[in-house]
Chain A
Amino acid sequence: MTLPHSGGTRRLGSLLCALYPLLGGCASDALPSTAPGSVSATVSSSIGTVVNVTWTTTTPTIGYVSYGTTPSVELSLTIDEPEDATTNHSRTLLGLSPDTTYYYRVVTWDITNATAGTSEVLSFHTAALPEGTPALKAQSFEVTDEDGKPEAPLDALVLVPFVSATITTIGVVDPAGKLVWYRVEDRARRVTRARFSSDKTAIVYNAISDATPADSELVRVPLDGAASTAVKVPNLGEDFAVLSNGALAALVPDAQTVSGATVTGDSIVEVDPSGAQKKVWSSFDCFDPATSPGDNSSPSWTGANALQVTGTTTYYVSLRNLSTIASITRETGACDWILGDSAAGTLTLASGGAPFSHPGSFFADTKSGQLVVLDADGGSNGSRMLAYDLDLEAKTATQSQSYDSSPRIDVTGQGEATLVRGGDTRINWSNGSRMDVINSQGKLKWTLSATSGERLGYHTSFRDLYAPKLEGNQ
């Protein structure tokens, strides 16, 4: 690299240098080239908003990529850890807008030589969204907190399946309503939930085969667009969870003989990477079909439809047909608390509180005593979100907040309410093709509509696609 310095004096110096060839002229130490070489960007063939940037360096370096929609490349990945120094580099850009020109450059650091390098600013163009992906519209609203101060705008992303009659798009939507990551499931499968893998490098979704339940599977799609993998989970239910140890837990039917008759309930099974299943809980463990008959027997007596896990210790399960949510100790399978069912319930709804009916998904936190749930059928104005404060010592649940859909939506499947950062609540109206975020005052901050009419499956709210920080039901 040669840095310019100006003036005729330099030319005079050069002339003088030329007079001294026998004395070594004016040659001086050249700065070594530290610029990254062979820099290139490749748009993923499977996900048009994923781009892989590769480069090489002559010495082991760490580095990162800066990128953006202008040559000033205002966004940056994080630099590699010092122990990851190498000469062949590859980094993946995520969360890009479709059909958009991006600029990027590579920055490197050679620890051994304490030397920085950078590439020129280059560009690439992301692919357009494939046909059949949803049309989305997001709106943000300025709201104030309880002290009247403006709240920060929503910065969370959401992972959610968009289910149409023919295909399902498992997508990541940014606050502006852009689909910035997607996976199209075009097989005849029903997708109701998508989550992050425990290492946060992949998306996992359920692909339920209603025609051949034994072919149902959990599909793992790496965020960087690499080939997906799947593990079969026969009779896979509407929800599954990802344990922090990497295991997957799924809802599957559990048929048992009760008084000489076969009764189908639900169970939680843990699935290892090979597909081997281990039952850790059955609805028969905490509920008796005789005393808690439920109001529907399809697809099961209890109608388990949503699942949550906290670390590796506690499961929470929603039992739609019993209008009940239960907390389960993973180790023992015992129910810690049950809210809803009159026979088996351990928590009492405080007076004046509204019960939920036919719950969708929810977010429960025993530690903080919080529960939010999508109440599909309890409200007179259609489905609603209900929030409760749980007091496990007093064994009470006190309703603290309620939020009706408006205009009216009657959620017929899935639907979800989760607490997210800042005391906000994200409400997924499922077949209403809408998702809202409200603040703790019940004010609407953000709304997303699938204007092309897709149903929304269960969602995962998070921030930062590169290092997802999950919120709510994880």
Chain B
Amino acid sequence: MTFTLRALSARLVALSALSLATTFAGSAQADGGYYAGVKGARAAGRGGAFTAKADDVSAVGINPAGLANIGTTMIQVGNRFSYNEHTFARSPTLDWRDTQSPPYVTFPRVKNGAPWQVLDPLIGVATNFGLKDWGFAFAAYSPAGVARETYPDYGGQRYMMVRRNAQLLDYSLSAAWKFKDMFGIGASLVWIAVPTLDYSLMVNASPFSRENATPVAGGYDAYASVHGHDYFTLNAIVGGWFRAAPFLMFGLSGQVIPSQIETDSNVDVVAKSPSVGKIQLSRNGQPANDVGLTLPLPMTFRAGARYIHHQGDRELFDIELDGVLETWQRVKTFHLDARDLQATASGETVAFADIDVQKQWQNTLGIHVGGDFNVLPDRLTARGGVYYETPVANPAYANIDFTSGKQLGFALGGSVHVSKLEIAFAYEYRVQPTVRVSDANARVYQAAPGTTCVAPYTDIAECSPYYLGRPSAPANGGEYFAYSHVMSLDGLYRF
């Protein structure tokens, strides 16, 4: 074990700098949401095939066991810049405000009005504290994803979602140990902070029966917005690797604690028609608007096999195949617990029912293939990768809030080494091919918290005769298409 006062001082300075940086990130960064891609330019440049390699700070979220292989102290600072296009063209429908001759209505394609995401950081330090077979790390990062999406108030998507802003920040404390170069294990304790989770959509606030299905617009349309936060959710990631031969190693990791984001939120409901007047929310006769919003988090399991081709003592190239299983089936709904709120408008008071944005997500399997090629040993590395992920949702539950179809992507990247500094960069193109959902199959319905139409939705006295068997009008039928251009740039300083 090599341990000097100077080295310790240097590492303390690094940790202090990291603390300052994460304070900034926690207050100013705007990233998060449900995931898309991986953090770290080196991992991203390989198309996410990094479970077995996992040899930089991004290992804290991918496979913490890899930290045992860093063998020095590393400060990694990086950011992702992305352009995230997400479009939706709603299926034509009839405007049942006119029950005599309901007009056939088509909807223009809408797209995310906030596609640029410029602050999406990863800041961390990893060190072995001079302990040869150990590795430790502290990192703060926003999980890879699209933090913010906004759509027109009156767009065809408005009964699904108008705006979402999900700022997530993970603080990770990790440790790893290895036995010689045969195998290693590691774990990360992750504190997930959600400083902002806003979600808004248009709802049909009609208190009248049979007005629960107004697919184009309704006289009681109201803009419901939920603003909340959840500063503390714990999770953990464990991992390991095994070197079967000098040229072959395997990695395995998992985010193993089932957890969910449960925000303390406030809801505001504003009627779009002046004739409806102000919508007052109350509980037990007292003004109140606090609600709870629950978003389950998936567990994630990664497994990777990495082939390393040596030329002499050096790695010439490697290629890794990863499989990633994410248990999204935990996400059945985004559940808004109204906590027995009541809504009063135009002299009518109705119970403000809980709102469940139907998800019914399913587990996903991702296949990632990627590798590095040392073009100029210790000077220049090129990397690339491709990946495919199965759909997180049956098309019936497609929604504009998160991409839910199959995901395809490729990545190209590289590293330039200058002394102790490595500049890593990656470009990633990610696409969700067109997902088409017919209104017949659509299972996300216009939210109508005041409706008296209840399952099985066949009471013609209470339910719209044009949507019998459905709680309301389908809101998510149409075509979805999404793609992202992502540029990652990291600086890694080893000393």
Contact = CB atoms under 8 A, between A and B. Distances in A.
Contacts of B219: none
Interface string B381-415: 00000101000000100000000011011100000
A367 interface: no
A5 B433 contact: no
A227 interface: no
A77 B87 CA distance: 35
Contacts of A78: 100-101
Interface in B409-439: 409-410, 429, 431, 433-439
B466 A109 contact: yes
A29 to B, nearest CB: 5
B195 to A, nearest CB: 32
Contacts of B466: 82, 109, 111, 114
B24 to A, nearest CB: 33
Given A12-B429, A12-B431, A114-B473, A28 B483 contact: no
A116 B104 contact: yes
A116 B435 CA distance: 19
Given A20-B408, A109-B94, A114-B470, A32 B481 contact: no
Interface string A1-42: 011110001101100110110011010111110000000000
B101 A29 contact: no
B395 A29 contact: yes
B483 A13 contact: yes
Interface string A115-135: 110100000000000000000
A10 B434 CA distance: 9
B101 A26 contact: no
Given A78-B101, A79-B100, A5 B429 contact: no
A107 interface: yes
A110 interface: yes
A107 B104 contact: yes
A110 B431 contact: no
Contacts of B100: 76, 78-79
Nearest to B93: A116
B321 to A, nearest CB: 14
A82 B409 CA distance: 47
A66 interface: yes
Given A23-B388, A113-B438, A114-B439, A28 B109 contact: no
Given A3-B89, A82-B465, A111-B468, A26 B433 contact: yes
A78 B109 CA distance: 29
A79 B481 CA distance: 34
Given A5-B87, A13-B431, A77-B101, A31 B436 contact: yes
Contact of A28 (B87, B89, B91, B435): B435
Interface size class of A (residues with CB under 8 A): 35 or more
A107 B367 CA distance: 45
A160 to B, nearest CB: 28
B147 to A, nearest CB: 21
A109 B102 contact: yes
A116 B439 CA distance: 9
Contacts of A64: 101
A114 B94 CA distance: 9
B101 A32 contact: no
Nearest to A32: B438
Interface string B77-89: 0000000010101
Nearest to A113: B440
B388 A31 contact: no
Given A116-B92, A116-B94, A17 B433 contact: yes
Nearest to A23: B388
B431 A16 contact: yes
Contacts of B431: 9, 12-13, 16-17
Given A9-B483, A66-B101, A29 B87 contact: no
B479 A29 contact: no
B474 interface: yes
A384 to B, nearest CB: 41
A30 B437 CA distance: 7
Contact of B434 (A28, A79, A109, A114): A28
Interface string A75-98: 011110010000000000000000
Given A13-B431, A107-B104, 4 more contacts: A16-B408, A17-B431, A111-B465, A116-B94
17 contacts: A10-B481, A13-B433, A13-B483, A16-B410, A17-B433, A30-B436, A66-B101, A79-B102, A82-B468, A107-B104, A109-B466, A112-B469, A113-B439, A113-B440, A114-B439, A114-B440, A114-B442
Interface of A: 2-5, 9-10, 12-13, 16-17, 19-20, 23-24, 26, 28-32, 64, 66, 76-79, 82, 107, 109-116, 118
